[in-house]
């Protein structure tokens, strides 16, 4: 098994590509050992000193470090990922479910049509680009012209995430949806 790695715009996060499907639907972010208990692989990764976050996408895993250098962290992370996939064990514990990010959405009923357009743009234009960088971004709400988005994986805490939100996503949405006045992270 050969696992590729890719740098992300977030220097604290590295993307691992095992060359096979990781999560068949949705995404899943775990920011501590307690959240990682829902996945044997994530729990194993959190045992590695310096690992501070794990994110599963459709065909990739991003790992965020809290300390140490990638040169020292990569070998045990690669070993844990390879061992997990070679064992054939499931990615998630029996009772765990990946979250698509659609829970807890908020917007007024009169804005339903606008929200559908916003969600379509995010789904078809924004999420694929963000996934390439090892993260995910999901719609959370729309109120008084402000779009609220949840940034996960490599995007969470990335130094360039503010620029991505303000200059990329906000400009894109304002071009297609005049009702949008601002985009904010949740």
Cα angle 25, 28, 31 (rounded to 5 degrees) comes to 175
In the prediction, which pLDDT does 64 show? 94
Do residue 69 and residue 117 come from a single domain? no
Listed residues 87, 120, 154: the one ending a domain: 87
Tokens in use for 17? 């590509």
| Residues 81, 114 within the same domain | no
The pLDDT of 15-27, averaged and rounded, is 91
pTM, two decimal places: 0.76
Is residue 132 domain-resident? yes
Q: Are residues 24 and 79 in the same domain?
A: yes
C-alpha span between 170 and 160 (Å, rounded): 14
State the CATH number of the domain containing residue 166: 3.30.300.130
More confident residue, 148 or 156: 148
Instruction: Specify whether the CB–CB gap between 151 and 185 falls below 8 A.
Output: yes
| Full domain range(s) for residue 43 | 4-87
Per-residue confidence (pLDDT) for residue 133, from 0 to 100 = 79
Report pLDDT digits (tens) over 76-131.
Answer: 999 999 999 999 899 998 755 555 444 579 999 999 999 999 999 998 988 888 88
Q: Does residue 99 fall inside a structural domain? A: no
Tell which phi-psi region holds residue 34, choosing left (phi > 0), alpha (psi between -120 and 50) or beta.
Answer: alpha
**CATH number, domain at 13?**
3.30.1370.70
Is residue 83 located within the same domain as residue 113?
Answer: no
Could you give the 3-state DSSP secondary structure of residue 112?
Answer: helix
């Amino acid at each position: 098994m050969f696992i590729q790695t890719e740098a992300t715009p977030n220097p604290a996060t590295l993307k691992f590509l095992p060359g096979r499907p990781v999560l068949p639907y949705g995404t899943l972010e775990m920011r501590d050992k307690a959240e990682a208990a829902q996945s044997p692989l994530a729990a194993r990764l959190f045992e590695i000193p310096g690992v501070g976050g794990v994110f599963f996408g459709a065909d990739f895993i991003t790992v965020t470090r809290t300390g140490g250098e990638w040169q020292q962290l990569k070998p045990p992370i690669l070993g844990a990922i390879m061992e997990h996939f070679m064992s054939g064990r499931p990615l998630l514990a029996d009772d765990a479910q990946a979250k698509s990010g659609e829970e807890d959405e908020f917007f007024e009923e009169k804005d339903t049509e606008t929200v559908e357009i916003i969600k379509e743009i995010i789904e078809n234009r924004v999420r694929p680009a963000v996934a390439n960088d090892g993260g995910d971004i999901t719609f959370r709400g729309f109120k008084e012209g402000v779009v609220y988005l949840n940034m996960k994986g490599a995007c969470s805490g990335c130094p360039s995430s503010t620029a991505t939100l303000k200059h990329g996503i906000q400009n894109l949405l304002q071009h297609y949806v005049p009702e949008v006045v601002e985009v904010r992270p949740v």
